[in-house]
Amino acid sequence: MTQTSHIPFTKMHGAGNDFVVLNNIEQNIELSPRLVKALADRHFGVGADQVLVVEASTLADCDFKYRIFNADGSEVQQCGNGARCFAQFVFDKKLTSKTRIRVETQAGIIEPELIGHNWVKVNMGPALFDPTRIPFVADGLATRQVGAITQYLLPADTGRGRQELWVSVASMGNPHVVIQLEQPASDDLVQSLGTTLESHPRFPERVNVGFLNVVDKNRAHLRVFERGVGETLACGTGACAAAVCGMKMGLLSERVDIIKAGGTLTIEWSGQADSDVFMTGPAQTVFEGEYCL
């Protein structure tokens, strides 16, 4: 633990997905699950969906290392909205003068680029659909082909009894399951099904649950129940995963606006195997302060 009894922090958000950002280059904070949960607590702490940590990279060709902790204290591989806030933070704090940086994450290298005032575009890398790489245990499940994507008939025990759902699965450095709906998802559906699927035994590392409602080729509504957090106002990797699944189903164009409760993210993908997914959206500082230990 850092020797000080106060931890300087910056509160930020990307389309309503909010973060506590810690500069661990200029200080030395050992983050325990207990401390993460305390910082993220909306009543007794600062309040956040995730805690983001800026560190020096261990790789010669990267500018920084980016660590992400969910509100429940668990460390995760990737966070798209956080990536935009990360890039805005290191630029605002003069930790770099670059407007485009390479960042080391548990999921690989990402490349955020500041393209306007509080506006960031991120190369999120390729989407993965192989169940073993998500990871997702697909053995024994019925499948169907929808456009260019394979969907799985997933059994789930919910408060409404046992259901079978046709789902798409993808990874954007973290696992996602996407359910396509004809109407926008209700609060009850997001909470009940989100809670059930987040810890479904077919997802060994738990999963983020996306509820996708396509408006037209260029627009879609999305709600995401994030693992370790619950529903958030926006989820960057969730927007990417839902968009690429919709594109592979033939429902969405190569450039689409994903509309969330906290704002809109623009996702671009060529649809080619191993091609990178690009996400553009806001990154806003809210306030700064010190957390008392």
Distance separating alpha carbons of residues 128 and 273, to the nearest angstrom: 9
Catalytic residue status for 85:
no
Active-site annotation holder among 79, 85, 240, 245: 79
Q: Tell me which DSSP letter residue 100 carries.
A: B
Active-site annotation holder among 62, 85, 235, 240: 235
Backbone angles phi, psi at 102, to 5 degrees: -110, 130
Catalytic residue status for 240:
no
- Chain-centre distance of CA 268, in angstroms? 16
- Are 78 and 126 within 8 A, CB to CB? no
Contacts from 180-188 at CB under 8 Å and sequence distance 24+? 180/212, 180/213, 180/214, 180/245, 180/246, 180/249, 180/251, 181/211, 181/212, 181/213, 182/213, 183/213, 184/211, 184/213, 184/221, 184/223, 185/211, 185/213, 185/223
Q: Is the peptide bond before 135 cis (omega within 30 degrees of 0)?
A: yes
Distance separating alpha carbons of residues 193 and 93, to the nearest angstrom: 40
Residue with tokens 């195997």: 273
- Are 178 and 247 within 8 A, CB to CB? no
- DSSP structure string for 48-95: -SEEEEEE--SSTT-SEEEEEEETTS-EES--HHHHHHHHHHHHHTTS
**Catalytically annotated residues:** 79, 235
